[in-house]
A and B are shown apart, each in its own frame.
Chain A
Amino acid sequence: MWRPLSLILEIFTHLRYRSRFERLVPAIGTLGAVDVRGGDTWTRYATPRSLFELWAPAFDSPYEPYHCVTLFAALGHARTKPHPPPPGVVERIEDRPLIKVPDQPIEVHWLNQSTMVIIDIFGPAAVSLGVRFIQRGCQPVCTFDNWPHPRGVGKPEFTLAALLYYSPLVADARELIKVDSPPVWLCDASRLVGRRPSPGNFDNRYYLDDTLLPGSNFLKAQGIDRLVIILGNKSRKLAPDVEAWLADRARDGFEVFSTHLDEPALDVQPIRPVRGHFPRIGSRSAAGGFGSLVPEPSSSGG
């Protein structure tokens, strides 16, 4: 079994319901769960704040406002049980040499100071590939804005497991991350394409909006003029939120490229994203969130 997934299974093995209502005991993974190095270094990062800061952009980075707290916070409120991975998912990930073992910095010719990388693939794989960009000196920005649930439409707990599993590698690479390093945005492509909610499901899908993806003026101020999006495979289409955002950037003069995991050298091709509706915070809010952009207002039926 893919190791991050086995880690999450172990983590949640040690989280038990003591009663119907009591919070799960956050004694996470003390009984033998191992990380990418086969050790327990990951336990140093098993609190929401320490894991959030480990995977954050550089200290005082202008990108910090886009580094999303939500999934990291879930680590302190775990009220969930392990889920078996969907059939075939683990096998597909392990078949991808680019992300199987992130033990070396990524080697791509197009990466420079003016490039923003957006990895938009299955969450755990985005984390794995993200490690290789961090090892190359990129600063990570995590956009995981959902919450695990035993009957969640999405499975962000797998992503959380991956963040813990690879934590020793990121800890070692953090000294490479500088305030002016190119950013690598880590996105979970399953944010909108999880199972369709059915009775009793918990709808934890979400859009990337302008709290998670910056505007043109901001990017230009950081010296970014090229955007590269990495997708899961050649046939994979851009998600509507990212496509609308890329189209807006293209309109403002940014070069936009894409590549995918089936491309061994991650060679990029220019793309022309189609304009669409990019979700903006104006229809959500700090004090309410009453927009109607989430595909359904709530989670279930029946």
Chain B
Amino acid sequence: MHATSWGLELPERRELMRELQFRYHKWDLYACGHEGILPETLVLPGEVHREVIQISERFGQILTKLEAIVARTPRLLDRLGIPREMYPILRAGPAHELQLARYDLHPTPEGGWMLSEFNEDVPGGFNEAVGLPELLGERFGRARFVGDLRGAVVEAMSPFGPVGSIFATGYSEDLQHCLIIEDWLEAAGHPTCRGSPAHVRRSWGTVKLDGTPIEAAFRYYPGEWFPRLPNFDGWRRLGDKLPMLNPLRRLIRQSKLLFSVWREEGLLSAEELAFVDRHAPWTGEAGRDVSLEQLRDEPEAWVLKQAFGRMGDSVVIGALVSPKTWSETLKEVKLDPSGWLAQRRFGHVPMPFQLGPLYPAVGVYLVNGSFAGYYSRAAPKPLLTHEALHVATAVVDP
């Protein structure tokens, strides 16, 4: 695995970024004044490409099995930290098993791959994941961009007519994701509309978004926020009957506490357990499976996360923070241990980029269980936050 420069002069690069902004709706190209995209491409050898796909698809299968079991077991739902109001919807199950997921894998010093988390509820990054390969084209010799996220999403939604995008309307960075999906669907002949999940109504068997009938929805609104909606009663009655990419039941997979729950006896086979042990860090509930004293005494060995934290905003790595920050986090855990998990820190290998050594994470998109493309990032620390830089991903001899 290595990184290769785009080899673009500044005016060409500027033009490419403009195209990304206006043709692919990538409006948040900059974060705090810094460009969020590396002018390099991460090149995966064919065997690595096949390995990360195999790991991701296998995880997808295991999570599908787990999701079905957990959905009908309130005791396990309780452990995931999912709002109880969501239980009836999760139990009922989705009308269609649509899936758009992204699994983030990290290379380890042992030569393997570890999964830090999966994004099964509302993964993002489509704008640059599809835009950059289309704009950069074939300029990297034998390395080619692979996957067809656009085609896979269109295919997944092909059984339906009009599609509505639902999102938190105050966030333009969420809107940009909806717009690119709408572009793809409209080009494929689907009428589209968009609005807040609070604009969804059902009457006489027809689901309407902001007054417009829809047959399916693209959801860019976190599942755990639904109980806050003023029309949540309507959603409860609607359940998961509206085909959605992704169904609300994906909330089960989104909880990081699932990393801990899957160790319960009888949930996974020995082979499945061996697989997840090989590719996911040991995880327990903070204060229950791992004592606060142990966490206090071994900060180097642990990572604390919240069940529904996103984009690294609630990930605290003991080895990377000051003793004061670690201690304050442990106080938070003590106050509300149920929402926190403790994960054994795993080794993460940096690799050379033009900016210097960065820690890569290869994001694998799955659509309905199959590989659909890459969304990779590289960060100065072994932690993916909003400061991580997107890096286009190509494959030699896929």
Contact = CB atoms under 8 A, between A and B. Distances in A.
Interface stretch (A20-28, A117-125, A228-236, A254-262): A20-28
Contacts of A195: none
B197 A282 contact: no
A211 B228 contact: no
Interface string A259-302: 00000000000000000000001111111111100111111111
Interface in B26-59: 27-36
Contacts of B31: 211, 281, 286
A218 interface: yes
A172 to B, nearest CB: 23
Contacts of B29: 65, 69
Interface string A40-78: 000000001100100000000010011011100100110
Interface stretch (B91-99, B169-177, B286-294): B169-177
A299 B199 contact: yes
Given A206-B172, A282-B386, A287 B124 contact: yes
A290 B310 contact: yes
Contact of B124 (A62, A145, A199, A288): A288
Contacts of B18: 49
B124 A23 contact: no
Contacts of A70: 27, 172, 175
A104 to B, nearest CB: 33
Contacts of A295: 170
A293 to B, nearest CB: 9
B41 to A, nearest CB: 19
Nearest to A302: B230
Given A21-B162, A77-B179, A285 B32 contact: no
Given A21-B162, A70-B27, A289-B171, A281 B32 contact: yes
Given A69-B21, A287-B125, A202 B32 contact: no
A271 to B, nearest CB: 25
B207 interface: no
B125 A218 contact: no
Determine which residue in B32, B124, B199, B375 has the highest number of CB atoms from chain A within 10 A of its CB, and name it. B32
Nearest to A301: B230
Given A65-B30, A214-B33, A299 B169 contact: yes
Determine which residue in B28, B162, B231 has the highest number of CB atoms from chain A within 10 A of its CB, and name it. B28
B340 interface: no
A279 to B, nearest CB: 12
Contacts of B210: 200
Contact of B170 (A23, A66, A203, A214): A203
A130 to B, nearest CB: 21
Contact of B168 (A22, A52, A211, A289): A289
Nearest to A200: B199
Contacts of A94: none
Interface stretch (B60-68, B188-196, B296-304): B188-196
A52 to B, nearest CB: 8
Interface string A176-212: 0000000000000000000000011011111000110
19 contacts: A21-B192, A52-B22, A65-B29, A65-B34, A73-B21, A202-B195, A203-B169, A206-B170, A281-B386, A285-B124, A285-B313, A286-B173, A286-B386, A287-B311, A289-B171, A294-B171, A297-B225, A298-B196, A302-B230
The 9 A-B pairs at the shortest CB distance, nearest first, are namely A21-B191, A287-B124, A294-B170, A65-B30, A301-B230, A285-B311, A289-B171, A298-B196, A69-B27
